[in-house]
Structure formats: C-alpha cells, structure tokens
Amino acid sequence: MKKKDKARKKEDMPEFSFKEFTPEEGKIYEEAVNSLRQAVAAGKTLREAYDSYKIPDKELGKIIQADFLKIIIAERHFGQRQSLEEIAKSLDVTQDLLKNTLARMLQEVGITAANQFGQEFGGLVPKSND
C-alpha cells in the first residue's frame, strides 16, 4: 500500500467516542429506545417514531436516535436477514442512510475489538478518542 493510500484510509475512518451515561441519562435512554421500538412496531416511520418521543437534552436525543437506528439494523438486517432495501422501505428512509450507518457500526466494532485486544494482550492500541 502506498503512503497516499494509507493517508486516504486514515481520513476515511471517522472519529467517534462512546458516551458514558449517568444513571438518569441511562433511564432516559432505556425509556426512549422502548418507546421508539413500540412506535416502529406499530407501523410508524423512523421520523414519526423520533417525533413521537421528545427528549429535552438535544445531544442525548441525537445519540439515542443514532443508536436506535443501529439497533434496528442489527435486529432486522443481521438477526432477521432483512435486506437494507426492505428496512429502508419500512422506515421510510434512504438506503444510503442505512449503508452509512452500517459502515459506521462496523468501524465502531473494529475499533472496539482492536482496543480490547490491545488491553488484553498489550502492544499497540489504535489511536481513537473512545
């Protein structure tokens, strides 16, 4: 791999961090995810589900909404083997949104696995802000 390719790969990998919730935030998170799950199960689109449960803390709300979409992808795409096209249709979102979210999920899993490996076996730990 050329230096240019390595630099481009590094740029393609977005920075992310995992938020540690306070007990109160954890409670809000659980309630919100359960409410969103019920709304989607009742046939609401993703936007309608998001609109049906207001979270006063906007930053926490963004995290919950992003996580909820990841949960849906994990359950339906990996668990139930639904195609991204089917999921996009049922949630009334673009396939690109699902593809980008899935790519981010896989990056997060890779970084987490590498960090865990580094902690367990020593050596180099990838640089990230999580």
Determine the pLDDT at residue 121.
78
pLDDT digits (tens, 9 = 90+) for 66-81: 999 999 999 999 999 9
Neighbours of 60 (CB within 10 A): 18
Residue 13 confidence (pLDDT) above 50: no
pLDDT in tens, 80-130: 999 999 999 999 999 999 999 999 999 888 887 877 787 777 755 556 555
The predicted model scores a pTM of 0.74
21-55 per-position pLDDT tens digit: 899 999 999 999 999 999 999 999 999 999 999 99
Domain positions in the chain: 23-121
Predicted local distance difference test score (pLDDT) of residue 117: 80
Choose among 16, 18, 58, 68: nearest CA to 38. Answer: 68
Looking from the CA of 100 toward its CB, the CA atoms found within 13 Å total: 8
Q: What is the H or E stretch that residue 6 is in?
A: helix 3-12
